[in-house]
Chain A
Amino acid sequence: AQSVTQLGSHVSVSEGALVLLRCNYSSSVPPYLFWYVQYPNQGLQLLLKYTTGATLVKGINGFEAEFKKSETSFHLTKPSAHMSDAAEYFCAGGFKTGANNLFFGTGTRLTVIP
């Protein structure tokens, strides 16, 4: 079955520390992959996406993610956390079914400690 799994429902980092949020997908065919961010009481906004081509994807706000087919992973990183990064992050996969239906992970809430 096609699915996206996020490891860790809560992650805490100190301000200035590395942010690493984990995402793995389950599919024999590499999917389209996305990271979305959700701030309190708001909708989701796109951080970055992987469709084809370069496996290291750069997004907004200093985030990036690397697509690793051998590990079926698409982990999100940021070298130095900022207080404004505190939010919930969702990994999502589109499995090329002919419609733009995304399968979402269960989310990771990032807390940044001053």
Chain B
Amino acid sequence: NAGVTQTPKFQVLKTGQSMTLQCAQDMNHEYMSWYRQDPGMGLRLIHYSVGAGITDQGEVPNGYNVSRSTTEDFPLRLLSAAPSQTSVYFCASSRGVSGELFFGEGSRLTVL
């Protein structure tokens, strides 16, 4: 079982470049989300989706866009990368409210 798959695992960008972090899940989960993990700050919610065509902002949405055209995919777009976006990004999915979150293995992004 693949679960939640994130690509790429590592990426280095220059300030101002754009890129998309891909996330796909094969568990038919309605809920998907993106978190960023920074030292000493735990995980913070960037954006989330409760189903195809529905997205909303989390705690730290600035500088990021998302879309949810299918149940399986939930890409995260960085429009103009900044050094403050250097982080490890995790995609997660679950079947519903109070359900277990299943996490991908993370994408480590460095912005120079």
Cβ of B53 within 8 Å of any chain A Cβ, yes or no, is: no
Known: A44-B90, A46-B101. A100 touches B41 (CB 8 A): no
Q: Check A100 against B42 for contact (C-beta < 8 Å).
A: no
Contacts of B103 in A (CB 8 A): 36, 43-45
Q: How many residues of chain A have a CB within 8 Å of chain B?
A: 27
Chain B interface mostly helix, strand, loop or mixed? strand
Contacts of A103 in B (CB 8 A): 45
Q: Check A43 against B45 for contact (C-beta < 8 Å).
A: no
Which of A32, A94, A105 is close to B42, meaning CB atoms less than 8 Å apart? A105
Contacts of A9 in B (CB 8 A): 40
Contacts of A100 in B (CB 8 A): 31, 33, 48, 94, 96-99, 101
Interface residues of A (CB under 8 A from B): 6, 9, 32, 34, 36, 41-46, 49, 51, 90, 92, 94, 96, 98-107
